[in-house]
Amino acid sequence: MVPWPRLPDWTLTTNNTNLTTNNTKTTNSRGPNSAAGPNQLAAAIEPPAATLPLLGHGVAELEAWAQTQGQPAFRGRQLHDWLYNRGARSLAAITVLPKAWRQQLLQLPVAAPAPWGAAAATPGEAAVAGLQPAGDPEPGRCLLGRSQLLHRSDARDGTSKLLLATADGLSIETVGIPAGDRLTVCVSSQVGCPMACRFCATGKGGLQRSLAVHEIVDQVLSVREAMERRPSHVVFMGMGEPLLNSEAVLAAIDCLCRDLGMAQRQITVSTVGVPKTLPTLAERALERLGRAQFTLAVSLHAPDQQLRQQLIPTAHAYPLEALLEDCRHYVAITGRRVSFEYILLGGVNDQPRHAEALATLLRGFQSHVNLIAYNPIEEEDFQRPSPQAVEAFRMALVRRHVAVSVRASRGLDQDAACGQLRRRLASTGPAA
């Protein structure tokens, strides 16, 4: 059962398809055989069940849901094909479905996402009845689980950043990053972020809520449509802290592999570190996915606790030693090495002494270090390091036998840093 404040007096529960909420009829207080007037009958009939967005569900679930709607199971397979292979954005586009059924589906109330901290019927989603918006240019978009494109920003290097609107009117960023035959999609896991990293534009606005499974998967489909090519890799490095929404993140990984044909090794989950979550993530990944082959990337950004707390205020609750111990537990459970991310801030953490301290910190660890040159944001005075400083830092690690690479900076001419586009358009509005 899903408790929810300020709702009328009916109870919402989910059935075993995880798609439709069940309601039981209210019994008239005068007994089942008592006559009732129009007002009593109206009070006894419960509102229609809320339906979860269809995106994020597999073939078997969609088949079962179609049957609950009085349709044959193959209609669920058709929905699956049009959702994942054809990228349908409206019910009108799915012409293989009977027109009468499509019209009926437009009347279904769709479950709304859960605000941060609220109880949810399924990971990242709450069964709150809300009719689809009237006058939507893409009717049925909310039922399908698709977002609305608010703005697209294309950089000279081919990187494309999309600003997407959720069904409840919030906005999130996703980025398509082409590199030869590869197309990497950087997805968000939350609307905003509570971690408050000083160098990150997203953290400046705080957290509004976590994203539901369909809202994560939709980002990959949106980039595929915008760039007209199939994504090869997905990185959870956009807005939000994935480990604060781990169930929805794991469900999205499951969907990406099962329904879009990706492999776990093509997916990376990045975290700044949340106490006591890494071993749990490893265990839940094994339970949910059967194996944990995605890459875990842990954002260090400093070789000692004092400097890390200056850059990441929430790190005071998670000492470096405890974070690294949890990383070791993760490696022991999954058998996969951990990648450590390190943003280089000019004159702050990019000196040779920092590289030497980092090498000492990671000595004997099954890991890889990914160096990232800082992308400046307006709210902070941090500087981007010089190419010479980046190379000197890299060579200092190489000499100490640390596996290291430097991430190529992309989209610098178009709000490259996470959260920049969203904050700029929130203050100025989309460009004409």
Angle at 177 between CA 268 and CA 233, to 5 degrees: 35
Tally Cβ neighbours within 10 Å of residue 96: 10
Judge whether 241 counts as a catalytic residue.
no
> Which is the catalytic residue, given 186, 193, 200, 418?
418
Which residues share a beta bridge with 269? 236, 296
Active site residue 391: no
Catalytic residue among 173, 215, 241, 341: 173
Q: What angle do CA 106, 210, 222 make, to 5 degrees?
A: 55
Task: Based on DSSP, count helices (H) and strands (E) in the chain, helices before strands.
Answer: 13, 16
Give the whole-angstrom CA distance, residue 403 versus residue 420: 31
Residue with tokens 């943003």: 343
Q: Provide φ and ψ at 82, rounded to 5°.
A: -75, -30
Pairing outcome for strands 233-236 and 182-186: parallel
Backbone angles phi, psi at 307, to 5 degrees: -70, -35
DSSP state of 177: E
**How many CB atoms within 10 Å of residue 399?**
11
d(CA 309, CA 83): 44
Rounded alpha-carbon distances, angstroms, from residue 278 to 207, 296, 424: 21, 9, 34
What value, to the nearest 5°, has the Cα angle with vertex 164 and ends 159 and 166?
Answer: 155
Which among 355, 362, 367 has a CA at the least distance from the CA of 392? Answer: 355
Q: Closest by alpha carbon to 324, among 360, 381, 371, 365?
A: 365
**Which residues are marked as active site?**
173, 418
